[in-house]
Structure 1
Amino acid sequence: MTLTRTFGNRESIRALLQSTRVWLALCLVLLGLAAALPANAQLRVDISGTGAQQYPVAIADFSGDPAGAQIAEIIRADLTRSGQFRLISTSGSNLTVDTPIAFDEWRTRGADFIAYGTVVRLPDGRFEVKYRLGDTVKRGPLDGVAFSGTEKELRRVAHQIADRIYEKITGIRGVFATRIAYVLKQGNTYELQIADADGQNPQVALRSREPVISPAWSPDGSRLAYVSFESGKPVVYVHQLATSKRFPVANYKGNNSAPAWSPDGSQLAVVLTRDGLSQIYTVSAADGSNLRRITRSPLIDTEPVFSPDGRSIYFTSDRSGSPQIYQVGLDGGEARRVTFNGGYNISPRISPDGKTLLTVTRRDGAYRIVSLNLTNNTESFLTAGRDDQSPSFAPNGMQVLYAAVQGGRSVLAGVSSDGRVRQTLSILNGEIREPTWGPFSK
């Protein structure tokens, strides 16, 4: 979530970006004063609703090493979370990759598909995981592959298998092996954390005594751009995840904020106040060079996001008198207004196929996430909370990650792109903000 969102709850969007003091105070409101998260706390997943179509699938415990049962459980949880699968019981089964499948029996149980496998610990301590997927309707194999990895890598292997099952059955690439990033406030410390798509296995990419906001994934998943206040004002950094090295790409006079990656990863769109009110610029993602101004407005332009083809930028502006979403080409020129429903629409996010725009809209005093079909300009509400923020599409466009307030506390939440399936990833004694979904895993 950018600063525009929360500040707009209380005062005019026009007052945004007037001083560093406002930015810093706002970040403290944004990230809260939550108590510290216990080191062993894990995100808990609560799911409601089902997809328009549910595929009946049986996931048997993988035979061999005891780790096989854990792998199968992760796969089941991944598929269940999508809302697109109905799990069939595998009680009493003892399948290995060499076991002939009794297709008629599994059809009788109600399964159109059966997944199973074998886990073997190798002499070097690594594991070999063999998986198979059978189609009981067509009475034949649908998929099969072998993975290897350390004990710590078995969760990733399970997510990869779930991705293969999802894609083989639905025809859409799975996102279970992808990662998410978010900001967590613990005591007086701000952490930029990275976790699996299911919220498990969180890792700290950056820990700071000063606010960290607006994380954004590079298209290849190797870098994160974000805004840090460590120098006493907002500065945009690019952070190499493999080495933990980082460097500033926007550190101009005034405020530097809201980084967004171009689809090819070569540029960042940023919001700067170097020439007065906030305007949108692009810089080289490699070193911050090649500064180029994109918008020229006497009012506030902020929250840029590139279109999937990289030729234009969607952004939030109050040039019509209230915050709305606009689109402008990278060559500048006249911006085109995109949103017209409601008097307050911010935080644009475009779907991977470029056909759907997410916004945070204010209706009847509540902030909710709306999906706008750019082909016919019809909108649908994806969430029904009072304070839903910071939407982020999954890389396959099938799910949306966002921050919400439920029961008086901040939570990480998700919803299917059609609004039918909702999930809550809750964390004990902590406050999560500004979640962003990473790209497909390489």
Structure 2
Amino acid sequence: MKKLLMALVGWLWFSQSAMAELDILVTGGMDSGRPVAIVPFKSDGSLPEDLANVISSDLMRSGKFTPLSRNSMPEQPAQSGQINYPTWSALGTEAVVVGHVESAGAGQYRVTFELVDVARGKDGGNAVLDSRVATVTAKQLRKYAHRISDIVYEKLTGERGAFLTSILYVTVDRSQAMPYRLMLADYDGYNERMLLRSREPIMSPTWSPDGRRIAYVSFEKRTPAIFIQDLYSQARSMLVALPGINGAPSWSPDGRSMAVVLSKDGQPDIYTVDIGSRRLNRLTSDQAIDTEPSWSADGRSVFFTSERGGRPQIYKVDVASHSASRVTWEGDSNLGASATPDGKALVMVSRVQGSYRIARQDLNGGGVYVLTSSSLDESPSVAPNGSMIIYSTVYQGRQGLALVSADGRFKANLPSAKGEVRSPAWSPFLN
């Protein structure tokens, strides 16, 4: 459960580019997905980014694809007309991505790619599932590679890809005078940017549904307060600062209100706050500790963690009627839940035999399916298409981030180059 008591925070606002400090180390699931091949893009010179490597890594992390290694490729064509389909079919390859990059002058590049269905090509049919041409700058090459990944993912699965997204997370480097930093990066840790830093802990970053704003908890006024910040203008405003605890903000799906934890009347309870009027709506009033709110996909109810049954479990409260009911029953305890984007399941932290692991539960009566195998996993955040989950874990004695696919097949750690990393928050789809 998130800590309910936090230290005073002093802020220094920052906005700067930084090298990526998160390296993805694959720990499982590389050979369990659909076989595809991302052929190295042909170019007329050296490129600042290896597009094929970025695309291959994206697809692998979804847990749904197993990209063929380069040294196993029978050929490296640059366009569909050069593909020997029977050769790729003999390897069991389902689809191939080919492309080339040309200099367009003035620091720009023209990128051409094709997604090809091997079976159709072998049978003599129209094998090209999609083809695009785009002109981008050198700095945009990596993001465009993520865009290609999204296109390939959607064409092959029928679901929208979530590789062109971002994450928020908190880093802690105790060797620094201001050790706590709130960071923004691409979902894979690249293009890292510092948003703010503090002498004291930063906690509970969360995204607005449109991806333009974030919310967080600050103690800068010597009492805890929840702030909202616009990522583009850097403008911020205080949402709520009442006596006692003000914590765990969670944006409603329509972006008009925030679920929060307040203790102004004694015990921590779940409230909603109208962002425009600041009007409060108290949802729970039990004598137990109620915390960690998160909205249902339809915005009609709020999931939360409560000890009202003796041990922490997940409950759901109806926003209109304030009627609450217990949702989880398996495991020693369950906490920190959030609904998947389709509203069909919960992702949460489940305590089993003393270990805290990321788990998923079907809301239509399914059991709890444990996705991770570490002993101290927490703060799960689901990708906007529901395919991946990022969470905080302990790896080689240091707190860092990790990825797991929604089916548990693919796993990877994202250790920091220095310090600790915690409290990840995956962005919504970004335009």
Q: TM-score, normalised by structure 1?
A: 0.87
**RMSD of Structure 2 on Structure 1 (CA):** 2.2
Instruction: Select the residue among 37, 58, 76 that pairs with 1:78.
Output: 58
Question: Contact between 1:388 and 1:404, CA under 8 Å: does it hold in 2?
Answer: yes
> Equivalent residues in 2 for 1:385-396 (5 A)?
385-396=374-385
- My pick for the range that moved more, 169-178 or 101-110, is 101-110
User: What is the alpha-carbon distance in structure 1 between the residues aligned to residue 259 and residue 33 of structure 2?
Assistant: 40
**Superposition deviation, residue 103 in structure 1:** 2.4
Aligned residue pairs, count: 412
Query: Against the structure 1 CA distance between its residues 69 and 314, is the aligned structure 2 distance closer, same or farther, given a 3 Å change threshold?
Result: closer
Percentage of pairs with the same residue: 41
1:355 is aligned, of 334, 341, 344, to: 344
Counterpart residue number, 1:262: 252
* Residue aligning to 2:141: 154
1:197 alignment counterpart: 187
Match of 1:169 among 156, 160, 170: 156
User: Does the CA-based 8 Å contact 1:324-1:345 persist in structure 2?
Assistant: yes
Is 1:239 the counterpart of 2:229? The answer is yes
Cα gap change, 1:109 to 1:321, in 2 (>3 Å): closer
- Does the 8 Å CA contact 1:314/1:348 hold for their aligned counterparts? yes
User: Matched residues in 1 for 2:80 and 2:324: separation?
Assistant: 61
Counterparts in 2 of 1:284 and 1:97: CA distance versus 1, 3 Å? farther
Name the stretch that deviates more: 364-373 or 189-198. Answer: 364-373
Secondary structure at 1:44's aligned position in 2? Answer: coil
Q: Is the 8 A contact 1:62 1:69 kept in 2?
A: no
Q: Which moved more, 1:378-387 or 1:92-101?
A: 92-101
The CA distance in 1 between the partners of 2:260 and 2:49, in whole Å, is 46
Match of 2:309? 320
Task: Give the 5 Å matches for 1:57-206.
Answer: 57-64=36-43, 65-67=45-47, 70-89=50-69, 93=75, 95-97=77-79, 99-139=81-121, 140-186=127-173, 187=176, 188-206=178-196
- Describe the shift of the 1:121–1:98 C-alpha distance in structure 2 as closer, same or farther (beyond 3 A): farther
| 1:84 Cα deviation after fit | 2.4
The answer as to 2:37 corresponding to 1:47 is: no
d(CA) in 1 for partners of 2:294, 2:53: 37
In structure 2, the residue matched to 1:2 is 2
Residue 109 (structure 1) shift: 4.5
- Distance verdict in 2 for CA 1:268–1:108, change over 3 Å: same
Residue of structure 1 in register with 2:267 after alignment: 277
CA contact (8 A) 1:208 1:230 kept: no
Deviation at 1:364, TM superposition (A): 2.2
Structure 2: 5+ residue stretches without partners: 10-17, 122-126
Structure 2 Cα separation of the partners of residues 76 and 97 of structure 1: 17
Is 426-435 or 331-340 further displaced after alignment?
Answer: 331-340
Listed as ranges, the matches of 1:269-418 within 5 Å are: 269-285=259-275, 287=276, 289-418=278-407
Unaligned runs of at least 5 residues, structure 1: 4-16, 28-38
SS in structure 1 opposite 2:322? strand
> Take 1:71 and 1:356, find their aligned partners in 2: how far apart are those partners?
34
**1:78, 1:176 within 8 Å by CA — same for their partners in 2?**
yes
Question: Quick one: structure 1 residues 180 and 42, their matched pair in 2 at CA, closer, same or farther if it must change by over 3 Å?
Answer: same
